[in-house]
Every structure is written in C-alpha cells, then in structure tokens.
C-alpha cells in the first residue's frame, strides 16, 4: 500500500512539474520582429531568445517504436506480473523480459487466442516426443517451444521459401542431417526423425556460439550470417546485435519467450476450454512393406477405419497416398488398436487387397492452345478405300548426319549454304563461337533432311515404301529442293543397298558357297560405285594425348580397321605419326577376286560386308530402334511391350549392356 501511495505521489509531482512549463509556454506572447535601433542608443539592454523546453506541448513529437508504444500503453500491474513470471522460469532457454517481449505476450494471450488454442490442442501429442530427444541430447527441455514458433506443431507445414516439417528444415540442412527426400517420402515431415535431427542441429549451434539466444537467432538466420554480423559490429550478445539484425530474426527470440510464457500460463489467461479437441499420443505398430506396392486408402479400410485417409495422418512423411512396386523397404505406422483386424488375415492376402488399383488417376496430357489459322489437332487422312491409313510402326529418320571437313578459306556461312542449313544451326550443332574463323581440317557435323516418300494411293504401297532396308525415293517435288550433289549421293546409296539384296537372299538360304559368291559380287559392285567422299580426310597426324581407339571413335571407324589400313601390329601410336583413314585402293580391287585357298585381308573385308548385309537383311524383317543419347537396354525394353533386356541381348548378339548413340537394335521379330 505504501508503495502504491508513493507511486501516486511521485507521479502527481512529476505531472505538476511537467504541466507548469507547458502552461507558461502556452501563455508566452508571440515574439515581435526586432526593430533596428538608432545609432548612438544605449547598448546596455540585451535581447534574450527564449527556446521551447523539450517537454513542452508545442515541441515536435518524438517518433516511438511500436513495441515501446505497446509497453507504454500496457498497465504497469500487468507488466510487473508478466515480468515476475518470466524471470522465475528455471530454464537455460532464453527468457529475458523487456519491452520487445511484451507486445508478443499480449498478441498470443489476447489478440490471437485462437492460434494458441490450436497449438494447445496438439501440445500433448508432440511435446512428450520432443522432451524425450531433448533429454537424450542433454539440451534444455524448454527448447520444445521452438517447434511452436516454427510450425505451430503442424508436421506438414511448409513456408514460402521451402522450409518443411515441424522444425522447418531447408533442403540443404536436411541433406546435412541425413533426412531422406525423394519422390515418395520427405523425412522432414516425420516427427521422430525430424526431432532428432533438430536436436543434433541445436547441439552443433550451441558448440559454435555458447549462448542460447544466439543459437535461436542462428537457427532462424543461419550460423554463417550471425557470425558475419558479429564480426562486422563487434557485438557478442543477441541484445547488443538486436538493432543490426533483420526484422524476422530480431523478433524471433522475443516470440520464443512469449510462446513459452503463454503456454506455461495458458490456464491463468483462460486459454483452455472444454470445447477444444485435445489430441494425445497413441501406441503405434509398424507394418513392413518390403518393396510391395501399397495403397494407404485400402490399408485404412482393412484396419477398420471409417476415414480412408486415417493412416495418412499417422504417416505425414508420405508425399502420396500409395507406394510403387520395388520401392525401398518402408515401415508404415499403424495404430496398435488395428492389430486385431490385421491379425485376421495373412500378410499375402493383406498385401493383395492393399495393392493399388489399376485405375489410379494419372495427370492429363496438356491441351495445346488453338491458334487462328493453325491446325492444332491434325486430322488423320483417309485413303481411297475410305479407311484410315495405317501408320508405320517405326517411322524412318527425318535427318541424316553428314561430316564435312573444313577447307582452307571456308567460312561457316559457306558451309551452311552448301548443305542448305542456317549458320545458327551449324554453330549450334558444332558449338562454334561467334566471330572466330573455322580451322582448316576441322570436322563439322551437319544434319541434312532425308527426302520423304511420295504419297501412296493404297495401304500396301505405303507399307512397301517404308521398308527400313531401302532409303525412301524422293518425289519430283521434293527432289527439286536438294542440290545435284545431294541427289548423286542418294542415288549411290540406293544402288549400294540394291546390290546388297542378293546377299540377303543368300544368307537366308544358308548356302556357304552362294554366300561367298554373292559377297564377292557385292564387293565388286561397291568398289565400282564408290566415289570420292570429302566428308572424311584421307590422312590424320597423331597429336599428343591421342590413342587409336579415340581416333577411330571420332571418325566412325574401328581400331581394327585403322590397324589393317596402316599395317600396325598394336594399337600404340606416337605423336607425329601419319595414319591412313581410308581403305587402300589395291585392297578394294582385290575384293573383286575371292581366293579359294589362302585367306587374305580382302576376305576379312568381304566377311565384314557379308555380316553387315546380313544384319541389314535381319533388320529389314524386324522392328528396329535407333539408340538415342542417354538410352540403356532397360529404358529401351520399357518402350516396347513384351520386350526384356535378355531378349534385346539375344536378338542383337550383345555381350554387355553397353549401347552407343546411333546404334540400331532389333526390338521385335
């Protein structure tokens, strides 16, 4: 009582001392402008310039901080009560009381009571788990309120920057703490694993700063950012760094203290209510999936839950409601109350029932926008018979790859004009830098369009033209687009392929003598039809770091061919050595005469031609797949129904799973 009276007396005295100067300042007459004094007048009088006192009512208002304004508007009795309660907390967690904390206390206990009541409903569900791991890692138990600040005890909470889970871990931090994240599971939303990871992270931060207020600020802003701020300002405590921190980090520790006070004294502020839906921890069992496909909606029905999404709430780390076949060994959390229902059937029957249905919804294909004057959805053309035209199972390539060797004085524009492509395309295909001249001898890759077959009147004719063994013959309209030299190349290829047809028949007949005769004839025809090709240089000078396999791979050859053409006994080459990149002329001539007794190198070439012709014939009767960049035997087998990796190896005589871009594989007979 004496203290209250003393406070009233002191405050009334101060108020009187404040109002007297204010009243005097208000009653001061307005100052008149000073008139010039005549020369020779008495200078003994002095003019005194009276300044307004800082506490006068006419003085300029002082801008107040919002937190300080709330502090001044709060009744002193409430400030003293909250301060006494917070200062009595026996914990190592931050619990300093100052004007920065009071606004958040009023916010959680008065202005936003619904938020605190939603948190109180989940308190008994997660706090026992937090206390167990905090005690395990020897951390202050009151750090459990940090999860309330981060996520309001919602395990699936996500922030606008991507932080996820009860403890709001970012992706890199979760990776450092060994929390698994993939297409199906995100362990940041697993309450138990995320809590243990948070305890490890808090223990690491305390080892860096040795101050819990700095630890909480670093948890929000990052340890590196806090250390840089401390080096820049020279401050060592949170409240010294307070003016130099971002707004969110500046309010982080006061929010933690206010949350801790509001939950500890929720009963005193009447935050608890009988209408709240309090949740409590349940005894849980685990069901090992073991790589089987599993639908949690059907498992919920098998456990006897009326809500088919019940198990999703017990397994918040699952990003989808089902797991695919062959996924890693995963343990589904199931309430112990469902044990009798699961014990009624064996595991095989249970997993068969819980297998995802075939009608699982899939994302719809995007619909292209309809543009005026553009046919967005092409209509299938009708043949003369009135039936839809059958499409080829394996459409032929629309472009063929051509190598061009740069000659002295050639430019990119000249090369592009020669092959009827743009300079930008040529630069993109060969990674050419703008403004740099072409180096003589450099090989450029050019993709030349292949002539499309003419429109056929019947289905049978269209199917015949799409035979992979023969290149399509260009129509008159299409042929006019190409240059004369391109027409010559196409006609030469047609003649070579046509000459290989007898070899195909001989191989299919299985007669060795017929095969040798047809191979000799085909080699002679190929030798006569072969023309000079400038796409590959005739010679190559070995440079430092080159090897025979590398040189052969760059030019589409094999190391065996280079060894045969250059009469090498091993694959060893030395810098400065000159290699022949084409077959010698005498070898091509000898290919016409096939010796009957003594084997010669020309026989090997003939056998190679026969093997290639047999492979071409085999591909003509089968479905062929062109290997693209990034393809594997497994990916190719998935594209064709009923085809396995073993079948691909057997059909193509492969000894390993390695395939190269541009390689042709038989995928079906």
Provide the CATH topology of domain 399-448.
Membrane-bound Lytic Murein Transglycosylase D; Chain A (3.10.350)
Alpha helices in 566-644 (DSSP H): 585-590, 601-621, 633-639
Average pLDDT of the residues in 108-118:
93
pLDDT(490) > 80: no
CA dist., res. 304 & res. 88, Å (int)? 49
How much is the pTM? Answer: 0.49
212-226, 357-371, 500-514, 623-637: range with lowest mean pLDDT: 500-514
CA dist., res. 408 & res. 659, Å (int)? 36
659: left (phi over 0), alpha (psi -120 to 50) or beta: beta
CATH 1.10.530.10 placement within the chain:
64-269
Question: For the domain bounded by 614-666, which CATH number is listed?
Answer: 3.10.350.10
Average pLDDT of the residues in 12-41:
41
CATH 3.10.350.10 placement within the chain:
399-448, 614-666
pLDDT digits (tens, 9 = 90+) for 33-59: 444 544 444 444 444 444 444 444 444
CA dist., res. 527 & res. 586, Å (int)? 11
| pLDDT at residue number 501 | 53
Average predicted confidence (pLDDT) for the chain: 75
C-beta atoms surrounding 65 within 10 Å: 11
Higher pLDDT, 500 or 553: 553
Instruction: Give the torsion through C-alpha atoms of 488, 493, 498, 499, to 10 deg.
Output: 100
Q: Helices 501-509 and 512-529, interaxial angle, to 10°?
A: 170
Question: For the domain bounded by 64-269, which CATH number is listed?
Answer: 1.10.530.10
């Amino acid at each position: 009582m004496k203290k209250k009276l003393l406070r009233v007396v002191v405050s009334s005295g101060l108020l009187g001392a404040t109002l007297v100067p204010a009243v005097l300042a208000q009653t001061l007459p307005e100052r008149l402008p000073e008139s010039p004094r005549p020369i020779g007048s008495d200078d003994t009088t002095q003019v005194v310039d009276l300044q307004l006192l800082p506490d006068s009512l006419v003085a300029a208002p002082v801008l107040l901080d919002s937190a300080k304004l709330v502090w001044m508007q709060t009744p002193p009795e409430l400030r003293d009560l909250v301060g006494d309660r917070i200062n009595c907390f026996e914990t190592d967690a931050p619990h300093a009381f100052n004007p920065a904390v009071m606004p958040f206390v009023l916010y959680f206990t008065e202005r936003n009571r619904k938020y605190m009541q939603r948190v109180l409903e989940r308190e008994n569900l997660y706090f026992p788990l937090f206390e167990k791991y905090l005690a395990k890692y020897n951390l202050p138990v009151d750090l459990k309120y940090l999860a309330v600040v981060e996520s309001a005890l919602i395990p699936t909470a996500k922030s606008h920057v991507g932080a996820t889970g009860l403890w709001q871990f970012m992706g890199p931090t979760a990776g450092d703490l060994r929390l698994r994240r993939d297409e199906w599971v995100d362990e940041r939303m697993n309450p138990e694993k995320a809590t243990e990871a948070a305890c490890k992270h808090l223990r690491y931060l305390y080892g860096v700063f040795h101050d819990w207020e700095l630890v909480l600020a670093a948890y929000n802003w990052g340890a590196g950012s806090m250390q840089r701020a401390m080096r820049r300002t020279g401050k060592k405590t949170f409240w010294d760094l307070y003016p130099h921190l971002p707004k969110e980090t500046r309010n982080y520790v006061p929010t933690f203290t206010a949350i801790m006070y509001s939950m500890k004294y929720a009963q005193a502020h009447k935050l608890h209510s009988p209408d709240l839906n309090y949740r409590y921890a349940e005894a849980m069992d685990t069901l090992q999936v073991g790589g089987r496909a599993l639908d949690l909606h059907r498992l919920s029905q098998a456990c006897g839950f009326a809500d088919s999404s019940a198990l999703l709430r017990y397994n918040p780390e699952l990003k989808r409601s089902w797991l695919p076949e062959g996924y890693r060994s995963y343990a589904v959390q199931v309430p112990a109350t469902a044990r009798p229902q699961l014990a009624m059937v064996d595991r095989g029957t249970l997993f068969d029932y819980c297998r995802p249905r075939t009608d699982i919804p899939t994302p719809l294909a995007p619909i292209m926008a309809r543009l005026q004057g553009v046919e967005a959805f092409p209509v299938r053309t009708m043949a003369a018979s009135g039936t839809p035209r059958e499409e080829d199972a394996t459409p032929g390539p629309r472009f063929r790859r051509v190598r061009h060797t740069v000659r002295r004085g050639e430019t990119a524009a000249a090369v592009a004009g020669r092959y009827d492509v743009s300079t930008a395309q040529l630069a993109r295909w060969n990674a050419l830098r703008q403004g740099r001249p072409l180096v003589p001898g450099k090989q450029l890759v050019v993709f030349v369009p292949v002539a499309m077959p003419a429109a056929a009147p019947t289905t049978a004719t269209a199917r015949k033209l799409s035979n992979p063994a023969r290149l399509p013959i260009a129509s008159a309209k299409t042929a006019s687009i190409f240059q004369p030299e391109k027409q010559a190349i196409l006609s030469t290829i047609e003649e070579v392929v046509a000459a290989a047809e007898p070899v195909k028949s001989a191989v299919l007949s299985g007669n060795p003598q017929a095969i040798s005769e047809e191979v000799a004839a085909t080699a002679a025809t190929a030798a006569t039809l072969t023309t000079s090709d400038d796409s590959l240089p005739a010679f190559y000078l070995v440079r430092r770091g080159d090897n025979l396999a590398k040189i052969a791979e760059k030019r589409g050859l094999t190391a065996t061919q280079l060894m045969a053409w250059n009469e090498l006994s091993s694959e060893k080459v030395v810098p400065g050595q000159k290699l022949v990149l084409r077959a010698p002329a005498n070898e091509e001539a000898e290919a016409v005469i096939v010796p009957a007794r003594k084997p010669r190198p020309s026989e090997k070439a003939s056998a190679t031609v026969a093997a290639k012709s047999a492979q071409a014939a085999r591909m003509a009767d089968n479905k062929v797949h062109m290997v693209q960049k990034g393809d594997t035997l497994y990916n190719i087998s998935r594209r064709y129904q009923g085809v396995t990796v073993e079948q691909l190896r057997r059909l193509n005589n492969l000894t390993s799973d390695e395939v190269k871009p541009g390689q042709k594989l038989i995928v079906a007979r």
